[in-house]
Amino acid sequence: MTPEYSQWRDQRVNDNIPVSNSENARSLEKHLQVLPFDIEIIKQYFEKRSLELGKKI
């Protein structure tokens, strides 16, 4: 194994290891803030459909 290959391989392995940093943390927080909003939209849709179906019965 050449030193260049060894260095390349070590770098490749390290690139596959997730690293936590403040940018990723903010991205996750932002994603989690959007999630409740999506759930609320779905909840409202199902409540509306339930009322519509209840009126038809």
* pTM given for the model: 0.37
pLDDT at 47: 93
pLDDT at 45: 94
Q: How far apart are CA 57 and CA 29, in angstroms?
A: 43
pLDDT in tens, 26-53: 676 776 666 667 788 899 999 999 998 8
Angle (CA) 52 48 30, round 5°: 160
